[in-house]
Amino acid sequence: MRERGQVIRTKNATRYLLVLLLTMLLFQSYGQDNAGRIKWWQDARFGMFIHWGVYSTEGRGEWIMYQEHIPYPEYRNLAGNFQPKTYDPAKWVALAKEAGMKYVVLTTRHHDGYCLFDSKVSDFTTVKVGPGRDLVAEFATACHKAGMKMGFYYSLTDWHFPGILPQGYPRSPEIMNPMVQQAHDQVKELLSNYGKVDILWFDGMTPGDTTTWRSGELIRMARKLQPDILINDRAGTSGDFVTPENVVAANNKPWESCYAMNRTWGYAPNDLNYKPVAELIRLLTSCASQGGNFLLNVSPDANGEIPKQQAESLQEIGKWMKVHGVTVYQAGPSPIVVANLGFQCRVGDKVYLLIQRWPGSVLPFAWCGSVVKSARILTTGQPLQIEQKEDRVWLRGLPVNPPDPYMNVVELSFDGAPKASSPAYK
């Protein structure tokens, strides 16, 4: 018996090791595949978020059904007023391109459950209530025609289901299961009917309840339907990238900070708390310099028109990006730091100093472990004189006043790869 038991234990141990090895290989393969899938996104760094839906008719933000406790029949009547007569998604895509954005993510359905697409498992859609059109189909066509990478935001929660409000409370399986099944069915529709989808941006899931939401099954289905798709971290799994909201929060995983231009995601004409263009560029370059993406929101009105101030801000960002976009695309952290002046990024073997506090005619920095071969003001192309003593550097010949009104950039080239010196106190 002892010998037989030992044989069984040996066989079990061998089986366990084989399963472990196979799992490790699968994870390694997934990691390699994921690195290939996500490279374009990490190189892009800058995208457009679009919050648009029935709530845009009221102009008080996207949470009004919950915050004002509007009964579903009354809210459905509001959807009847959603008639976007001037909706032209090609204009949205063109504005995103003008701003230097490389991908666009649209709210195909928010927490209110109103689908901007032709869903066969819901009667609360733009085809059945309101405009009588599949607005997502028009959006997808515009993106594909322009060669713009396309993402679908999808809220898993649906407030128009009985028993779901107030949000955030535990619900019985009898209440949850129909909503969960609808979510699986609608994600399948979104990933089957609109050509290539590059990003699936989940939201609204009850945190931690992956069993109820059948999160693993949902993600497997998404990847089967769209093998190259990138999925965020809001469906109960870690996803391909994490999504801090209204904060720049660097992460050791791929990450993307999403921001509203004012303080409201959905259309709110009286929310005039707009961030200045200089602040939006600071947020963009802060994300890129730390290896993250910046997803900047616009909030079209009920007709599909992006508010004038939002469009003008994007156009100003686009002008800046035409000269300085090299500091954003493919950017990452730099070993050489100028914390007293602003921040910095590295692209290839070049370092870009992103200067918020203009130093005047001389720009000093230190702890530089490489020889600076050349330096120029990227904003104007003006070359600078270099003085370097060991790891201290002085760039001379700058104009007394900053040439760019938003963010000035100095480009550094080195004799070899850039590196920091080793400070004595380390």
User: Where are the strands (E) in 271-340, listed by range?
Assistant: 293-298
pLDDT at residue number 33: 63
pLDDT at residue number 422: 79
Strand (E) or helix (H) holding 321? helix 308-324
pLDDT at residue number 23: 38
Which residues in the chain are classed under CATH 2.60.40.1180?
342-414
CA separation for the pair 408, 354 (Å, rounded): 6
Question: What are the tens digits of pLDDT across the range 101-150?
Answer: 999 999 999 999 999 999 999 999 999 999 999 999 999 999 999 999 99
Asked if omega into 166 is within 30° of 0 (cis), the reply is yes
> Is CATH 2.60.40.10 the right assignment for the domain spanning 342-414?
no
Residues of the chain with pLDDT under 70: 1-33, 423-426
Which residues in the chain are classed under CATH 3.20.20.80?
38-327
pTM greater than 0.75: yes
Question: What are the tens digits of pLDDT across the range 18-50?
Answer: 534 443 444 444 444 677 899 999 999 999 999
Cβ proximity of 45 and 288 under 8 Å: yes
Q: How does 125-136 read in b/e, with b if 16+ C-beta sit within 10 Å?
A: bbbebbbebbbb
CA separation for the pair 373, 31 (Å, rounded): 37
State how beta strands 199-203 and 293-298 pair.
unpaired
pLDDT at residue number 30: 46
CA separation for the pair 148, 263 (Å, rounded): 27
Select from 60, 68, 276, 275 the least CA-distant residue to 165.
68
Cβ proximity of 92 and 68 under 8 Å: no
Topology of domain 38-327 in CATH is TIM Barrel (3.20.20)
pLDDT at residue number 3: 45
Give the CA-trace dihedral at 366, 45, 259, 205, to 10 degrees: -120
